[in-house]
Amino acid sequence: MNNLHRDFWLVPIIGVLALLQGLGADAQLMSLASASDMPVTPSVVNSDVDQLPVGKVTPRKNAYAVVFGIEQYREKLPKADFADRDATVIGEYLTKVLGYPSENVIVRLNDRVTRTDMVKYFEEWLKNNVEPGGSVFVYYSGHGAPNTKTGEAYLVPYDGDPSFVDSTAYPLKQLYAALDKLPVKDVTVVLDSCFSGAGGRSVLAEGVRPMALAVENTLLASGKTVVLAASSGNQISNTFKDKGHGLLTYFFLKGLRGEGDLNKDGKINMAELYEYLKPNVQKIARKHYNNEQIPQLLASPEVLAAAVSRLLVSNKTTMFDTESKDRVSSQAILMKTFELLDRLSPAEKVRMREIISGVMRDPDYLTADVHAEFWTIGDKLGWKSLPPDGFYWIRDWLGEMTTTYMRYYYEDALTALKTGRPFKSLERGSAEKRLLKSGLIPDWRIAENDKLMEKIAAKEPVSSHGSTFVYTEEIIKDALDNIEASRHRLDALYTPPK
């Protein structure tokens, strides 16, 4: 990444910097306040499950997740429609609804899910990051494939070829072996895929007939793992086109929104969620697509018997209230922080800006001394005395909302660059509304960002900070990588020092 593009990483803190210095956001810099966390299918469908529930989020500090979605494949395989969007929304639910720390959640899409990536995150990243007694959630949306000689099931990565599954695809048994070695108390795997090769979200080598895999044997994980599979071995997994998601994923998300609380006790566990989604998936598959799709909940007998206690959501009545008292309280805490800014000297305000900017720009900037200095200033605003859920809202305002907008914008830019037409995803539109409501970006700047998108689509030169350049796929992907890295650095900055 050259120096021209380093200034992009100031964008996530434009709002707080303007607040700290009493200045309006820099116009040129804010014109680049854009981006996207994940690619979205061009034919965006407005789905009810894409609107995240609002309310109290209970942090789960020791929960980790790897989320993969692959719609487009390198080897000219059929598209797995909406698979990348599935993963995008699952990632949002994990961090915004289920309380997973953003630094504990890996979301990768399309060409960022190669076979090497699967090995890296399933076998190395999880092993290096999880803590004893924690929880792990693995989600995969995309194609599966069978090995017709051995009957084994494989996940098909972006660079996978069903004609050479042994060397280019990732075996499920290898995934389960890696998960079983983790020192965690429970593992949940959700597979919106199928492995028969009969169509839907499965592929097969040319000239080979589909086969019926014994799902109960092939997908069965041992130990502490529970697997929710989209279909049985000889079935296909459908896409719910009307809702813009995989059929399993749609009802999984809808269940998390509260529909899955069948006994109305304010809690949703895995077994209860399965009871909700199974008949709904079957019904839509028969009615809309004239086929059978029966989701499977699989585990060793002792783990399956205990699945009823594996909670996904609790305190539903609080979580899903759009104007919960807890949310109002968090907003009040944030406003109190604004009022306390007068306690900071001009030098302290400038230093806070310098620290945030330095952390965004430089991976090596956040030393222990800098971290302690930042929190010494923050303590004058009462940060150290806040409960975790109270500070969560402040952290969201300080960086997460603008970072998310940046990620959505740049993913949309990739689509615009490839199609030659400006593109705005539903996710980016929602992020814009949130920024506008929070006062982090004016409506005229949204209009300017739309004009910038038109230039990106037309491959027209863009002027910024005294330089002129044309957006390329390499520049945009570099921006996305830097956004992801800077987001993790901000998370570290806003975590109180021990």
Domain end point (choices 302, 319, 336) = 319
Asked if residue 123 is part of any domain, the answer here is yes
Q: Looking at residue 468, what is its pLDDT?
A: 83
CA dist list (Å): 232 to 79, 199, 292, 345, 465: 21, 13, 9, 64, 56
| Bridge partners, 178 (sequence order) | none
Domain end point (choices 293, 319, 345) = 319
Could you tell me if 238 and 377 lie in one domain?
no
| Number of domains making up the chain | 2
| CATH number for 114 | 3.40.50.1460
Asked if residue 190 is part of any domain, the answer here is yes
Q: Calculate helix-pair angle for 325-339, 388-395, nearest 10 degrees.
A: 70
Q: In the chain, how many H helices and how many E strands?
A: 21, 15
In this prediction the pTM is 0.57
Could you tell me if 329 and 315 lie in one domain?
no
Could you tell me if 365 and 295 lie in one domain?
no
pLDDT tens for each residue of 397-441: 555 667 778 888 888 889 999 999 998 887 788 778 877 776 667
Could you tell me if 123 and 154 lie in one domain?
yes
Asked if residue 444 is part of any domain, the answer here is yes
Question: Residue 155, exposed/middle/buried by CB under 10 A (0-12, 13-18, 19+)?
Answer: buried
Asked if residue 354 is part of any domain, the answer here is yes
Asked if residue 171 is part of any domain, the answer here is yes
Asked if residue 47 is part of any domain, the answer here is no
The residue ranges of DSSP E strands in 194-244, in sequence order, are: 225-229, 239-240
Note down the domain range covering 188: 56-319
Could you tell me if 459 and 365 lie in one domain?
yes
Domain end point (choices 295, 319, 343) = 319
- Indicate left, alpha or beta for 422 from its phi (over 0: left) and psi (-120 to 50: alpha): beta
Could you tell me if 405 and 477 lie in one domain?
yes
Q: How far apart are CA 197 and CA 278, in angstroms?
A: 22
Asked if residue 45 is part of any domain, the answer here is no
Could you tell me if 372 and 277 lie in one domain?
no
Residue 102 and residue 63 in contact, taking contact as beta carbons nearer than 8 Å:
no
Q: Looking at residue 46, what is its pLDDT?
A: 66
Could you tell me if 445 and 380 lie in one domain?
yes
Could you tell me if 313 and 333 lie in one domain?
no
Asked if residue 188 is part of any domain, the answer here is yes
Could you tell me if 126 and 34 lie in one domain?
no
Q: Looking at residue 386, what is its pLDDT?
A: 57
Residues in the chain predicted with pLDDT less than 50, given as ranges, are 1-44, 197-202, 204-221, 316-336, 389-390, 392-393
Could you tell me if 339 and 219 lie in one domain?
no
pLDDT tens for each residue of 329-373: 444 444 445 555 566 787 887 788 788 778 877 889 999 999 999
Residue 230 and residue 237 in contact, taking contact as beta carbons nearer than 8 Å:
yes
Could you tell me if 315 and 333 lie in one domain?
no
